[in-house]
Each structure stands twice: as structure tokens, then as C-alpha cells.
Amino acid sequence: MKNALILLAIIFIPFIWFIYKMIRYTDDTIGENSPLYRERTYEIQIEQYFITFYKLLLIFTVVMMLVLTKMLISIALNQHDPLIFMAALLFLGFAVYILFVFYVDWHYWTITRNVQLTLNPFHPSIHIDSPDQLATLTPDSIDRIELHLRKSDNPKEPLYGYGYYLFYQKDGTAVRINNIFFTHYAEFLERFFSHTPRQIIWHRIPWIPPIK
């Protein structure tokens, strides 16, 4: 009986936790607790940004690639085998690519840290408070919206989804917001900024230019 209860707990506790997280996610994104129905302020902390399972997996991968590169180069030098040396270069190239991904990731962190974004559905607006930007965006103050994205059809590609919004105001200024803030709250833009002209601009690498 005790073993049966332990088995049921092992099976159902993760299932119940998953159901709870899904209900919470729905409530926070499109439900009563979402910015569609109440004013919400968001700020992404450094641990939320960097300490994720996917990024930890990438760190582990790059370490393994470098270890394998070192091992294969040693074997290639001992055996004078150019094929093994080519394999080492392949692993090294993959490690360099992952390090490049982290460089781009850090590039985007510079426009994410210390940024507070407030979404207000009662008087539809987006208020951004950051070290280099302070603005309140409304449907009447925005001339157009550009979404600059990495062009990729593969969701598993490390740079998939990287991008940023540019909100061009009618006074000629522009406000830049990391796309990560709207990953789960795009419905806010769809509902309250639906009449504002929008354009998606694709890039091989969506580098972040300085605001003019």
C-alpha cells in the first residue's frame, strides 16, 4: 500500500504541478491577471535572463566541444591524421558559434537590464522606464511600429526569436523595447495598438543600432 501511494505521488504530483503552471500561465497572459485586464509592470532580472535550462545546456555543450577539440588535436598530432584534425576544427567551429550566440545574448541584455515596462489596459499605454529611455506610448502618440527579428524558420535555432521593437512617435523620436517583453504579451499590442501601422523587418543577425 505504501509503495502504491509513493508511485501515485510520483505520477500525479508532477502532473498537478504542470496543470497548475499552465493555468497560471494562461491567467497571466490572457486571463484576469494579464495586462489585458489589469495594469502590470514587468522587469526581467539577471537570473531570469541568463539562468535558464537552455542556456545552461549551451554552456555545457561549448565546454564539451572545447574538450573534444583539445583531445582530437592531440590525437591528430600523435597520429599525423588530417581527418582527425578536420573533426577537431568542426567541434571548434561549433564552440565558436555558441560563444557568438552568447555574445548576441549579452548584446540584448544591454537593452533589457534595469528596464521596467508597465502595460496599462485602462488607459491603453506602454510606459517604459530605463536608464536611457523614459516614455509613455499610446495609440495616439505612435506613428508606426517596427519589429526587427532574426530570420529563421527553425524554433530550435539558438538565435530564433531574438529581436526588438521600435516604436516611432509622432514627435520624431523612437523607443526601443526588447522583443522578450512581448513574447507572452503580444495580445496587448494586438488589442490596444491594432490600428497602428506595423511592419516586420527580417535580419540575418538583428544587431541593435543606437537610437537616433
| Closest by Cα among 123, 124, 117 to 179 | 117
Give the domain ranges of the chain: 49-109, 113-212
CA separation for the pair 31, 14 (Å, rounded)? 23
Three-class SS state of 81 = coil
Q: Do residues 111 and 174 touch, judged by C-beta distance below 8 A?
A: no
Parts of the chain with a pLDDT under 50: 15, 18, 20-21, 25, 27
Alpha-carbon distances, residue 18 vs 11, 27, 53, 111 (angstroms)? 11, 14, 17, 32
Q: Which three cell numbers stand for residue 61?
A: 555543450
- Quote the pLDDT of residue 18: 47
Q: Any idea which architecture 113-212 has in CATH?
A: Roll (2.30)
Q: Which residue has the cell 581527418?
A: 83
